[in-house]
Chain A
Amino acid sequence: MKSSSLKNVQKHHSDRHHSHPDMEEMRTFGFWIYLMTDIMIFGTFFATYIVLHNNTNGGPGPADLFELSGVIVSTFILLTSSYTCGLAVLALNKGKKQALIGWLAVTALLGAVFIGLEINEFAHMVHEGATMSRSAFLSAFYTLVGTHGLHVTVGLVWMIALMVQLSVKGITPVTKRKVNIISLFWHFLDVVWIFVFTVVYLMGVK
């Protein structure tokens, strides 16, 4: 009887020990909840854009402004970065630190090119007089696409910080959870972009 209760205590102990990764699982779930609230933010911006996209106030409309070729390139860059982010997670699960950092670097590089193209597009549009205050359509456009771009930029900074942390601390339960979380974030941004690409650009050009 005594030995069995001792076993129980030991079992309890080892459960406690195992509750550490559980904590990381909880944190991953917490991040998932954040992503769900992000869905709602982007939902309101999409709704605003859909409602206002014809209110050009005599200014340039979607068909006048968008150049599909550049946006198609951006889309494939972001899709590829989503894949390389997945390869980073695979490297993580195999415990290959160098490959993990390498794939994260490729992902961040592709993300940086995406942001560069977007800034270039915005600068071009502003140069043509299509500023945010020109019309309700443009306000909604810059808010929606800009918020997505801001998310990608935050993801880039975060990814670089994580690469530094990985090279210093290596793969621990904590850094592992962080890589998993940022990959969720990155795939999520890819999904949001697909809908931006579809609703704003593909449906915009006549």
Chain B
Amino acid sequence: MAHTDSTHSVEDNHGSLKSYTIGFLCSIVLTIIPIAIILGGWLEGTSKAVALMMFGVLQFIVQLYFFMHLREEKKPRYNLISLVLGLVILVVIVAGSMWIMLYNMVAL
């Protein structure tokens, strides 16, 4: 299994024109949809916020996968591990701030 893994990573070690173009087209589509949601007024309130953030996260994954080559990393996946650490801290800071400052009305 490790062997097939390594041949796979040699094949598209640094990406190809095809993978970059697919990534670019995906990112264009993932940008147009949220713009359409806003300009068309399709969604309101919380569902709008959730949908927009979802498209942002998908865009992030596309960039990591097609442009930053995170999937091609070799076994001790230090890049991925440090990314997870960064994202955990990000979520704690952002979600924690929102929870305390926006929804904890006792503080007011």
Contact = CB atoms under 8 A, between A and B. Distances in A.
Nearest to A54: B102
Contacts, number: 112
Given A36-B86, A68-B38, A75-B31, A50 B98 contact: yes
B89 A43 contact: yes
Interface in B81-108: 82-83, 85-87, 89-90, 93-94, 96-98, 101-102
The A interface is mostly helix, strand or loop, or mixed, namely helix
Given A79-B28, A79-B31, A203-B49, A51 B86 contact: no
A32 B63 contact: no
A90 B15 CA distance: 7
A38 to B, nearest CB: 9
Interface residues of A, number: 43
Contacts of B66: 86
A43 B94 contact: yes
Interface residues of B, number: 45
Interface string B44-57: 00001100110110
Nearest to B28: A79
Contacts of A43: 89-90, 93-94
Contacts of B13: 93
A194 B38 CA distance: 15
Interface string A76-93: 100110110111011001
Interface of A: 29, 32-33, 35-37, 39-40, 43-44, 46-48, 50-51, 68, 72, 75-76, 79-80, 82-83, 85-87, 89-90, 93, 183-184, 187-188, 190-191, 194-195, 197-199, 202-203, 205
Interface of B: 13-17, 20-21, 23-24, 27-28, 31, 34-35, 38-39, 48-49, 52-53, 55-56, 59-60, 63-64, 66-68, 78-79, 82-83, 85-87, 89-90, 93-94, 96-98, 101-102
29 contacts: A29-B78, A29-B79, A32-B79, A36-B82, A36-B83, A36-B85, A36-B86, A39-B86, A46-B94, A47-B98, A50-B98, A68-B38, A68-B39, A79-B24, A79-B31, A80-B24, A82-B27, A83-B24, A83-B27, A85-B67, A86-B23, A86-B66, A90-B16, A90-B17, A90-B20, A190-B63, A190-B67, A194-B56, A198-B53
